[in-house]
A = this chain, B = another copy of it.
Amino acid sequence: MSFVMPMRLEPFKAACSSCNLRELCLPVGMSSEQVARLDALVATRRSLPRGEMLFRAGDGFQALYAVRTGFFKTCLSSEDGRDQVTGFQMAGELLGLDGISTDRHTCDAVALEDSTVCVIPYHMLEGLSHELTDLQRVFHKIMSREIVRDHGVMLLLGSMRAEERLAAFLLNLTQRLHMRGYSRTEFILRMTREEIGSYLGLKLETVSRTFSKFQDDGLLEVKQKQIRILDQEGLRRLVSSPAC
């Protein structure tokens, strides 16, 4: 904390056209000619060691970031010290959309493991999406999807109980990991119990207890951050069981 690290930019250009995240990221559904145009735009990458901030609330907004490798959280900290994790982002997901509204970022983005992102200068994205209808279409869909996701979190925070929240969280996580080619049943949590709790509106002790309960019920196996899902159906039932 005593001095500022210069940000690390890779010497080589990023290239959407040769990126294996193509179908999960901004270029989804675009033709190879169109993706080639994107390459010009996504000029640089940036590496962040675990714990480093990609941007923080109040920073001027210049660019969006696509997670290339690694894992991030975004969090809001209100003036009175309250803290809320608003999301976790993995490969192919976009960071920084909140900055568009006021030209300043409104939350912090923190790497939860060593990570790299592709830097997408926003004014260039605006320019290119002006030319490429498909890019505009995809970009709007991505923003809209973020809104839909947020509404889902509101539903979770507003009306679910602790077990339902954690179950929904785990199912969401495994589903996203699975889309990226990872196991659907076994994975490592990149965030602490406290960060999960903040995201889910629970205290870390409750998160821990709920993990233990799930383990006792034979739904999963927990060994610190290692999780193995044993009964996905059981978790699913938990989420969509009426409060009865």
Contact = CB atoms under 8 A, between A and B. Distances in A.
Interface of A: 76, 78-84, 86, 97-102, 106-107, 126, 129-130, 133, 136-137, 140-148, 150-155, 157-160, 198-201, 240-243
Of the listed residues A98, A102, A126, the one surrounded by the most CB atoms of chain B closer than 10 A to its CB is A98
A156 to B, nearest CB: 9
Contacts of A143: 100, 140, 143-144, 147
A222 B81 CA distance: 31
A136 B129 CA distance: 10
Main secondary structure of the interface of A (DSSP, over half): helix
A81 B81 CA distance: 35
A150 B154 contact: yes
Contact of A147 (B101, B136, B141): B101
B157 A201 contact: yes
Contacts of A102: 148
B80 A241 contact: yes
B148 A151 contact: no
B158 A81 contact: no
A144 B98 contact: yes
Nearest to A123: B137
A242 to B, nearest CB: 5
Contacts of A137: 126
18 contacts: A76-B155, A78-B155, A80-B240, A98-B151, A100-B140, A100-B141, A101-B142, A101-B144, A130-B130, A143-B143, A143-B144, A147-B150, A150-B150, A150-B151, A154-B154, A157-B158, A157-B201, A159-B201
Given A99-B144, A101-B145, A126-B137, 10 more contacts: A78-B155, A86-B154, A97-B144, A97-B147, A98-B151, A100-B141, A126-B140, A150-B151, A150-B154, A153-B154
Contacts of A154: 76, 84, 86, 150, 153-154, 157
A241 B97 CA distance: 29
